[in-house]
Chains A and B, each alone.
Chain A
Amino acid sequence: MTMELQQSLEYAAPEVRSRVRPFAAPDDVRSEPRFVRIGIIALATAFLSVFVVLPLVVVFAQAFSKGVSAYFAALSDPEALSAIRLTLLVAAISVSLNLVFGVIAAWAIAKFEFSGKTALVTLIDLPFSVSPVISGLVFVLLFGAQGYWGPWLQSHNIHVLFALPGIALATSFVTFPFVARALIPLMQEQGTQEEEAAISLGASGLQTFFRVTLPNIKWGVLYGVLLCNARAMGEFGAVSVVSGHVRGETNTMPLLVEILYNEYQFVSSFAIASLLAMLALITLIAKTMLERHIDEEELPHDD
């Protein structure tokens, strides 16, 4: 339960599905009077519309406020292109690192019993509860000029902070739990019987993993990667602290949104923001579709 909950800390757990009974008949003992129902629905939809839908609409309205050509001009600006490239690169690095880690960690945690497991899971979840600014700060304390390893790095001319490695590290920190979190409950649900069957049929450890375990969790892996990627591309606070904001070099898309906004280049700023908003929307749609597949993966195959 803790795990399911912690997962919902960042994103809704896959098992949150909408199972809803048909519209309640007036005399249903399990429903409220008609005016109460309408009031609650109105309040809920109005609140979501004002606080969630409107901001999203504003992004696109502002991005296209000077027309379509201004929008595409803003996106093809060299600075914008460089930010997009850096964002994709950073996401690729941290997603692949956390993918490998997440699968390995989920294997250890879901398939074996050992003491201290709960503590380990709590530690893996830790980055979810740390403020993004602090997630960046810790790397400044390690690699900065006044940091623990800063002087040594400086004397060897290795750039971590205000460069790609620092941005990738901070991004890996904030996206650390995603893949492991998506896989642990799924793999625990599936148990170890199929793996035991494979082993007793003579399969090696790697054969068992690639032929039995991985095909069973493929949607879960994709789910974790999707959420991990969305956060990696969108991370602002942590990256802002470690990037140094070198224009055309260490600016990711969210950082460029900030810089352009502060320079009153609203169309350019919102054009970049609209790309990130689309990423979020695509992520949500893909996530909803994946949750269906994951439900199937979780289905026990006997009654």
Chain B
Amino acid sequence: MTIEVKNLVKKFGTFAALDGVDLKIGNGELLALLGPSGSGKTTLLRIIAGLDWPDSGEVSFDGENALVRGAGERQVGFVFQHYALFRHMTVFENVAFGLRVQPRSIRKDDASIRARVKELLDLVQLDWLAGRYPSQLSGGQRQRIALARALAIAPRILLLDEPFGALDAKVRKELRQWLRSLHQEINVTSIFVTHDQEEALEVANRVVVMDKGRIEQIGTPGDVYDNPATAFVHGFIGESIVLPVNVSDGRVRLGDKALKIAADGASSGASKLFVRRHDMQVGPAGSGSLEGSVRQVRSFGPIQRAVVALCGGEIIEIDAPRDRELQAGEIVGLEPRRYRIFAA
């Protein structure tokens, strides 16, 4: 199933939750919608599911207009952030619900429904919980039951809203791996929403980074991390050092100091220089185009993290390998190894 979204706009009062979104999703993809809260990612997911309706724009499944169909007619499996399990039904009945409410003409007989539910509970490895009620399950178990329930209707698309948001860190990590392998097994086009970059980068084949109702970048996890398309993406994904610079005649200046780095085609004027913490080369005084004094050093694992005050007064944090231990008070030279410049 492919999904195509064209120029989607959705406003809540004066607030634009979606401000012209275009997106194509290929068959069998596992896509992450990543962004801060209020970026419109959940709204986009709900519109695809048919739980919300856009003010304008198009949504099509395999080239067919999806907006003429209600949520129940789209064959979309939706996993809610807080699972929305039916609290008065057992796990078994929750999973069976979508099968039991089918029109009589296509509804399967009870034995087939039971067999199918059993199969799904096996798939999520929770068949032993069939008789329990949602309130008797742990968060991770609820999550997997919600997924089994969504899969029961043989969805053409699987949508997950913050699937790991309400879980604790350890369970979250386990479920990430599990979701990846489950996706490989069932191979249904899937989209999940998250505000956690690590989750998006680790699970998805492709990541859509959103901010303020717009798409900032679409790409593989490697793309969005290594080649951020905008200042927002650079700042949102991974930890960055941001320095205010001025670009003129292809040269980059910090304050009145010219840096050795090339402007890389950045347009002239006030700009921002983005450098990953570990992409800042540290050497003895005078070794780089920037100079600063080390304020604090903490060493853990393979790196040492140093707080450095630059001559211009900016305070930055860098991650350096531990081949040369830095000392507080030491003057060091700094040189960005990899960097991006965006207009301010």
Given known contacts A194-B86, A301-B135, A302-B82, A200 and B76 CB-to-CB distance under 8 angstroms = yes
Partner of A203, one of B72, B77, B139, B152: B72
Answer yes or no: B130 CB below 8 A from chain A CBs. Answer: no
Instruction: Judge whether A201 and B50 touch: CB under 8 Å.
Output: no
Instruction: Judge whether A198 and B135 touch: CB under 8 Å.
Output: no
Answer yes or no: A263 CB below 8 A from chain B CBs. Answer: no
* Contact residues of B between 67 and 84, Cβ < 8 Å to A: 70-74, 76-78, 80, 82-84
Instruction: Judge whether A198 and B101 touch: CB under 8 Å.
Output: yes
- In the complex the two chains form, what is the Cα distance from A203 to B89 in whole Å? 15
- In the complex the two chains form, what is the Cα distance from A300 to B135 in whole Å? 9
Instruction: Judge whether A193 and B101 touch: CB under 8 Å.
Output: no
Residues in A with CB closer than 8 Å to B282 are: none
Given known contacts A196-B51, A216-B87, A301-B85, A201 and B80 CB-to-CB distance under 8 angstroms = no
Looking at the complex, which of A6-14, A54-62, A204-212 is the stretch in contact with chain B? A204-212
Q: Tell me the smallest distance from the CB of B238 to a CB of chain A, in Å.
A: 30
Partner of A301, one of B50, B70, B87: B87
- In the complex the two chains form, what is the Cα distance from A216 to B80 in whole Å? 18
Q: Tell me the smallest distance from the CB of A110 to a CB of chain B, in Å.
A: 16
Instruction: Judge whether A196 and B84 touch: CB under 8 Å.
Output: yes
- In the complex the two chains form, what is the Cα distance from A197 to B150 in whole Å? 9
Q: Tell me the smallest distance from the CB of A64 to a CB of chain B, in Å.
A: 45
Instruction: Judge whether B101 and A203 touch: CB under 8 Å.
Output: yes
- In the complex the two chains form, what is the Cα distance from A201 to B148 in whole Å? 12
Answer yes or no: B262 CB below 8 A from chain A CBs. Answer: no
Residues in A with CB closer than 8 Å to B182 are: none
Q: Tell me the smallest distance from the CB of A263 to a CB of chain B, in Å.
A: 53
Answer yes or no: B88 CB below 8 A from chain A CBs. Answer: yes
Answer yes or no: B179 CB below 8 A from chain A CBs. Answer: no
A302 nearest CB neighbor, chain B only: B82
Q: Tell me the smallest distance from the CB of B140 to a CB of chain A, in Å.
A: 12
- In the complex the two chains form, what is the Cα distance from A199 to B87 in whole Å? 16
Main SS class of interface, A: helix
Chain B interface residue bracket vs A: 20 to 34
Residues in A with CB closer than 8 Å to B102 are: 202
Q: Tell me the smallest distance from the CB of B28 to a CB of chain A, in Å.
A: 21
Instruction: Judge whether B84 and A193 touch: CB under 8 Å.
Output: yes
Instruction: Judge whether A211 and B101 touch: CB under 8 Å.
Output: yes
Residues in B with CB closer than 8 Å to A200 are: 49-51, 71-72, 74, 76-78
- In the complex the two chains form, what is the Cα distance from A216 to B88 in whole Å? 7
Residue tally, chain A, CB below 8 Å to B: 21
A215 nearest CB neighbor, chain B only: B88
Residues in B with CB closer than 8 Å to A212 are: 86
Q: Mark A143-182, 1 if CB is under 8 A from B, else 0.
A: 0000000000000000000000000000000000000000
- Max count, chain A CB within 10 A of own CB: residue among B85, B88, B102, B134: B88
- In the complex the two chains form, what is the Cα distance from A212 to B134 in whole Å? 14
Residues in B with CB closer than 8 Å to A302 are: 82-83, 139, 142, 166
Given known contacts A201-B153, A202-B102, A301-B135, A194 and B84 CB-to-CB distance under 8 angstroms = yes
Answer yes or no: B225 CB below 8 A from chain A CBs. Answer: no
Answer yes or no: A27 CB below 8 A from chain B CBs. Answer: no
- In the complex the two chains form, what is the Cα distance from A202 to B49 in whole Å? 12
Answer yes or no: A303 CB below 8 A from chain B CBs. Answer: yes
A195 nearest CB neighbor, chain B only: B84
- In the complex the two chains form, what is the Cα distance from A55 to B70 in whole Å? 60
- In the complex the two chains form, what is the Cα distance from A215 to B149 in whole Å? 19
Q: Tell me the smallest distance from the CB of A295 to a CB of chain B, in Å.
A: 13
Instruction: Judge whether B139 and A303 touch: CB under 8 Å.
Output: yes
- Max count, chain A CB within 10 A of own CB: residue among B71, B73, B149, B150: B71
Residues in A with CB closer than 8 Å to B50 are: 200
Instruction: Judge whether B101 and A201 touch: CB under 8 Å.
Output: yes
Q: Tell me the smallest distance from the CB of A172 to a CB of chain B, in Å.
A: 31
Q: Tell me the smallest distance from the CB of A52 to a CB of chain B, in Å.
A: 37
* Given A194-B84, A201-B97, A202-B73; 20 other pairs, CB 8 A cutoff: A194-B85, A194-B86, A197-B84, A197-B86, A197-B149, A198-B97, A198-B101, A200-B71, A201-B98, A201-B101, A201-B149, A203-B72, A203-B98, A211-B97, A216-B87, A300-B82, A301-B135, A302-B83, A302-B139, A303-B139
Q: Which 4 A-B pairs have the closest CB atoms?
A: A201-B98, A193-B84, A203-B101, A197-B84
Which residues of B are in contact with A by a Cβ distance under 8 Å?
Answer: 49-51, 70-74, 76-78, 80, 82-89, 97-98, 101-102, 134-135, 139, 142, 149-150, 152-153, 166
Which residues of A are in contact with B by a Cβ distance under 8 Å?
Answer: 193-194, 196-204, 207, 211-212, 215-216, 299-303
A to B CB contacts below 8 Å, 22 in the list: A193-B84, A194-B87, A196-B80, A196-B84, A197-B85, A197-B86, A198-B101, A199-B51, A200-B51, A200-B72, A201-B72, A202-B73, A202-B98, A203-B72, A203-B98, A203-B101, A207-B101, A211-B101, A212-B86, A301-B87, A302-B142, A303-B166
